[in-house]
Amino acid sequence: MLSPNLILLSPSHAGIFDFPTYLLGVIFTIVFPGPNSLYVLTITSRKGWRAGTWAALGIFVGDGVLMMAVALGAASLLNSSPMLFNMVRTMGALYLAWMGLGLMRSGVDRWKNRQDVSGAIEIRSYLDSVHPSLAALSLSLTNPKAIFFFVSFFAQFIQPGFAHPAYTFLYLAVVLQIVSMSYLAGLILAGQFFLRYFHRHPHCAAFLWLLVGALLIAFAGNLLL
């Protein structure tokens, strides 16, 4: 027989409907490539696992702030004020495009200077000028669509009429954060491998910066749609 504490922690007692489907949806949503995961992988393969860990922390805090904003009604505010929503969305798109252009310039520089990767020529870009946690936090907070995603996604799994909806929301948010941090930890490990690989194959590093930069610019365009 389960202890009372374990029973209280079960999804059904948290007012969650169809928890396995929610968990599966969270996994697929997080694994699908996005700006946050691309940034963690890129910064780790460029600067090492410490930078990747800081970036993951920034994303953790940013997502936590967004989910708290949802709980406090920020989605209703953005929905009732198209001007505010468009302003935040435009800022997010410009930020993504700026970061993407910086990565592409870094890729071009690496391609031109591929014979010198020992550090004699320091390639400066946006990734070198801002602390990874701040850059990742900005990435997370400048995506207003994430607020509406949390609202629409979470609402599907909250039992109607549950007495403590705040507890249900917190439960769903904690599960999402655990899955997200586990995935980002895997990306940090992968990025650490790529860090060593790119020192031996600078052409591949240049191609990655160009690819990720182009993807971030594409995400910027999608954010405006």
- pLDDT, one tens digit per residue, over 152-180 is 777 777 777 777 777 788 888 889 999 99
4, 8, 13, 16 alpha-carbon torsion, rounded to 10°: -150
In angstroms, the Cα distances linking 61 to 58, 65, 140, 196 are 5, 6, 9, 29
Residue predicted with more confidence, 77 or 221: 221
Q: Distance between CA 39 and CA 41 in Å, rounded?
A: 5
Mean confidence (pLDDT) of the chain: 77
- Position 192 pLDDT exceeds 50: yes
The pTM of the whole model exceeds 0.85? no
pLDDT at 9: 62
Q: Are 41 and 190 in contact (CB under 8 A)?
A: yes
Checking if the pLDDT of 124 tops 50, the result is no
pLDDT exceeds cutoff 50 at 121: no
Model pLDDT, residue 188: 93
Per-residue pLDDT tens for 65-101? Answer: 888 887 777 556 666 777 877 777 787 778 778 877 8
Q: In the block, which residue shows the tokens 């393969």?
A: 45
Return the pLDDT at 159: 78
Each residue of 27-65: pLDDT tens digit? Answer: 888 887 788 888 898 888 888 899 999 999 999 999 998
- pLDDT above 70 coverage of the chain, percent: 81
What's the pLDDT tens digit per position in 137-150?
A: 988 888 767 777 77
As a whole number, mean pLDDT of residues 202-210 equals 75
Residue 154's CB is within 10 A of a number of other CB atoms, namely 21
- pLDDT in the model for residue 66: 85
Q: Which of 104, 106, 125, 140 is nearest to 213 (CA)?
A: 104
pLDDT score recorded for residue 128? 61
